[in-house]
Structure 1
Amino acid sequence: MRMILFNTPRCPAAPRRHGRLRSLLLALGMATSTIGAAQSAPEAPTNPDLGPAFATRNAAYVPILLDEIPGWEHEDFEEVFASFNTNCRAMKRRSAWAPICAKLAKLPHNEATLRQFLHEEFFAYQMLTPTRSATGKLTGYFEPLISGSLTRQGAYRYPIYATPPDLLMVDSRTVAGQATRWLKRDDGRLVGAERGDAGAREYRIDLGGASPNPRDKRYRVRIDGNIVRAYYTRQQIDANALAAPVLAWVADPYKLYSMQIQGSGKIQLKDGGLIRLAYAEQNGQPFLPNATRGDADAMLLAIKARGLDQPLAVDIPGATRGVKRPGSDAAVDAEVARIVAALQGGGATSPSASSTSARIKPKPKGKRPPAQASTTAARVDASDVEAMIQLLLNAPVADTAYVAPAEEEVIAAATTPAATARPDRNDDAPAARMDMSDFEGKGGGKAAGHASGSGVAVPSTGILDPSYVFFRRIGDGPEGPIGALGVPLSAGRSMAVDPRATPLGAPVFIEGTRPGSSTPMRRLVFAQDTGGAIRGSVRGDFFWGFGDKAGKMALATNQPVRMWLLLPKAVAGSAAASGIKTRGEGGGLRDCAVPDEELCVEE
């Protein structure tokens, strides 16, 4: 079992006598078996400043003193106040958080007060992967700006859909393992029913290998006669259109796809004005971004999202950016090979072990994994990898000075590849240190009306990812877009996470490096969003804000990170005490660090 080495205490508030205690707790927390790690160490000495150790299927949580978190003593807590208050708009509705948020609202806004408040109300945990690694992956995202129209005209032929009325949700526990089931509609959901209940009908269940959403454990479905099926894929939506409201029309399907991956965006209207769109729903299909030659943004985000620029298990002579070294996991190798194969021929490969839900198994020590661990990895060709990397380096980003072009310009642009090189892509050298000037969150423009109705066939996009995101319109203003927590995101203080490992609403201290440099990037952020590619522990997607500068930073963010989770003391105690699942078959570790019927539903 690998021991994690931590920085030595830097603050007088972390006296040396706590060092042995903490080392003992760390050893106990990491040396226990998987099930045993879910419970606090029974014989360890107690310390009121340390929470109990615990674990879930997806992560392990090792208690640490707040003052021992690297960079904690340098954090600007006055700057954190606004983001913390925004976070409480949602979290104050939870019983464990209500008194904390009420206390926060009455605090004077100064450094010392908030620092003391966090010490009094929260336990800190270093997050580890299930294999007890302290290092994970940080990527970035932003709010893009694209050109559009409220009506379908000229080159503006691709719709931005609101949630279709025929998209329904059904709890996985209601239909799991059942060939038929009596169900009835209830406010956008299918719920279990009995024969004779008003509105009840017996349906055949045919979900075709679909998986429930990991956060709410619900399938996204449609009714086809008397059959409940998984909702339409992107290809089906493109081919047949939807009877759904259209919020706007755009000329570039790849920019729309990029906005779907980012989860929000602004539309600069052809006739003037600006509308802002936020994530509303998703079709329930897996996020599998197959690369196409004209889809540089999507390829970049696909590779960044899973950290796929990490070493391959096969040597590729001449490959750059670290992809030629051996030793990566087979599932990652397969994913790289799948994307390269799609790049070569524009076709899709089957979403198998390379899907976002694939579980990575630890590699045995000492021996290099054989090349045949991935049947497709051996077909990767160095020239194709290099071509893909070069295409990604020249991927376009949003421009804050963007003005909707004339219709003839849009028509011309729509016939050229989306991946046009930008010679100024890397002109902005990173600053010596990261401050809030790195983040852009200001928006402007007057909101306009929206288009409605659809059902009109649209040109094929050629985008192979089956996942599809639907939007809703929100008001524009200086605040960021609305995240999964239901509050506006703050540039530089918000992060998308896997809510199973990192509870939504929790403060998280991250330690990495600033994109493009070795300058430390250490700060307290809030877990306020989720994403289809954000899976696993020690995994974050950092929100950089709106516009060109934020886009450049987001596309450059792909680096190792360490994370420390802050939990209210009452929540931490409950999490450790209930580490072993009592619901479901077989027992074992639970799925969510903090089970919640809204933010993370337990299986």
Structure 2
Amino acid sequence: MFKPYPPDYSRREPDLLRERSRWVAVDWNALPGWELDRAGELWPALLRGCERPAAGWASVCAQARSLTAPDDAQARAWLMARLQPYRIESMDGQREGLITGYYEPLITASRRPQAGFRTALHRPPADLTTRRPYWTRQQLERETQARQALLGREIAFIEDPLDALVLQIQGSGRLQLTEPDGSQRLVRLAFAGHNDQPYRSVGRWLIEQGELRPEGANWPAIKDWARRNPGRINELLWSNPRVVFFREEPLHDPSSGPRGGQAVPLTPGRSIAVDTASVPYGTPVWLDSTEPLSNTPLRRLVMAQDTGSAITGAVRADFFWGWGSTAEQQAGRMKQGLRMWALWPREGGS
């Protein structure tokens, strides 16, 4: 049984350099709100991260597996005894960054095209690896040769092409699927590749067009604009040439999150996407930010378990909210200031 013991505050590890960040060793009292977090809630996400441990984490992960369902005080003491906190900053010393949010959409779908369900979601084309970059979004919808590459690759059909874009940006989703025999099934779409085209923000495009103000370019505003401008939806969609392809997976456990870039299931509220050149997968990270709707402090210990093409830079994170309407609302509006600290095993740690 784990017995908490006080960490040795006299031990200060040297600073660490990553490819795109500098980690500066600090004391635990530098983490705002550290004593207030429900640290025990991290444990399922921590153990999932330990399924594919980062270099230097094997011993710590072995010890973590022996600690069963710790309470908040036990979890906090355990982490403080074994890990060193580091302030994450850019190479030029910038400590402030950005946190956005993402979620797993739930969309009604049909296995076959029918009235109202005409927007297809696709598996990767058979020739995806033979052409770099692959066809753009506009070409895949308009050019004959490009369209032929998608024939027979349809997984399902949904109503709203903007929902298809949301699925592609989020990287995964859930489909409430109607099968040809009329039966209903809940399945997951997981990321299976993309067309190697650059990602362009449709929100940024609307700002450049003078349609939205920068402070209001969130997903609720983008969807509202699309409803008011149905004749320009293709123009909006084509401004982002990147297309994501999916694979279908059974959803045996609806309470389980999608697999992130670390290839472990994500935990709502305890998993983030990061730039892995700044923060390796499997790193516990302390966040200091605010929630998007209430503007209350968001100070929480999370695990770096995913990445994304738009998540670049030293102090940059994408917060996984989970699924459902609340997760959608939070993620769609999240664009907050951020400070980050990484927790890393001490040299010759306990």
1:259 to 128, 142, 167: 167
1:63 to 10, 25, 40: 25
The answer for unaligned runs of 5 or more in structure 1 is 1-12, 19-46, 169-221, 224-228, 292-298, 304-337, 344-380, 398-416, 422-459, 573-603
* Aligned residue in 1 for 2:62: 102
Root-mean-square deviation over aligned CA pairs: 2.8
* Aligned residue in 1 for 2:249: 474
Structure 2 counterparts to residues 216-295 of structure 1, below 5 A: 222-223=130-131, 229-239=132-142, 240-241=146-147, 242-243=149-150, 245-270=153-178, 271=182, 272-289=184-201, 291=202
Q: Using the aligned pairs only, state the percent identity.
A: 34
The 1-side partners of 2:41 and 2:322 are apart by 16
Question: Match for 2:109: what amino acid?
Answer: G
1:505 touches 1:528 (CA, 8 Å); kept in 2? yes
2:19 touches 2:277 (CA, 8 Å); kept in 1? no
Matched, 1:117 2:78: yes
Tell me the TM-score normalised to structure 1 length: 0.50
Matched, 1:542 2:319: yes
Report the 3-state secondary structure (helix = DSSP H, G, I; strand = E; otherwise coil) of the residue aligned with 1:89.
coil
Question: Match for 1:419: what amino acid?
Answer: R
Structure 1 residues 95 and 522, CA gap change in structure 2 (3 angstroms): closer
* Aligned residue in 1 for 2:227: 419
Question: Match for 1:285: what amino acid?
Answer: Q
Matched, 1:87 2:49: yes
* Aligned residue in 2 for 1:575: none
Question: Match for 1:248: what amino acid?
Answer: A
The 2-side partners of 1:141 and 1:496 are apart by 9
Structure 2 counterparts to residues 127-166 of structure 1, below 5 A: 127-166=88-127
The 1-side partners of 2:226 and 2:271 are apart by 29
The 2-side partners of 1:101 and 1:265 are apart by 30
Report the 3-state secondary structure (helix = DSSP H, G, I; strand = E; otherwise coil) of the residue aligned with 1:500.
coil
2:206 touches 2:212 (CA, 8 Å); kept in 1? no
Report the 3-state secondary structure (helix = DSSP H, G, I; strand = E; otherwise coil) of the residue aligned with 2:262.
coil
* Aligned residue in 1 for 2:3: none
2:106 touches 2:175 (CA, 8 Å); kept in 1? yes
2:110 touches 2:157 (CA, 8 Å); kept in 1? yes
Matched, 1:485 2:262: yes
- CA offset at residue 79 of structure 1? 1.5
- CA offset at residue 509 of structure 1? 0.5
- CA offset at residue 264 of structure 1? 1.0
Aligned length: 327
- CA offset at residue 117 of structure 1? 2.6
Superposed structure 1 runs of 4+ greater than 6 Å apart:
none
Give a deviation string over 1:199-247, Cα, whole Å, max 9, x none: xxxxxxxxxxxxxxxxxxxxxxx25xxxxx4222222222322246322
- CA offset at residue 385 of structure 1? 4.2
- CA offset at residue 144 of structure 1? 0.9
The 2-side partners of 1:256 and 1:558 are apart by 22
The 2-side partners of 1:514 and 1:389 are apart by 16
- CA offset at residue 525 of structure 1? 0.5
* Aligned residue in 1 for 2:272: 495
* Aligned residue in 2 for 1:437: none
The answer for unaligned runs of 5 or more in structure 2 is 1-5
The 2-side partners of 1:387 and 1:503 are apart by 31
1:494 touches 1:528 (CA, 8 Å); kept in 2? yes
Structure 1 residues 257 and 539, CA gap change in structure 2 (3 angstroms): same
Of Structure 1 and Structure 2, the greater strand share is in 2
The 2-side partners of 1:280 and 1:72 are apart by 37
The 2-side partners of 1:253 and 1:418 are apart by 10
* Aligned residue in 2 for 1:506: 283
The 2-side partners of 1:544 and 1:235 are apart by 31
Give a deviation string over 1:480-519, Cα, whole Å, max 9, x none: 1111111111110011111111111111010111223342
Structure 1 residues 551 and 391, CA gap change in structure 2 (3 angstroms): closer
1:391 touches 1:419 (CA, 8 Å); kept in 2? no
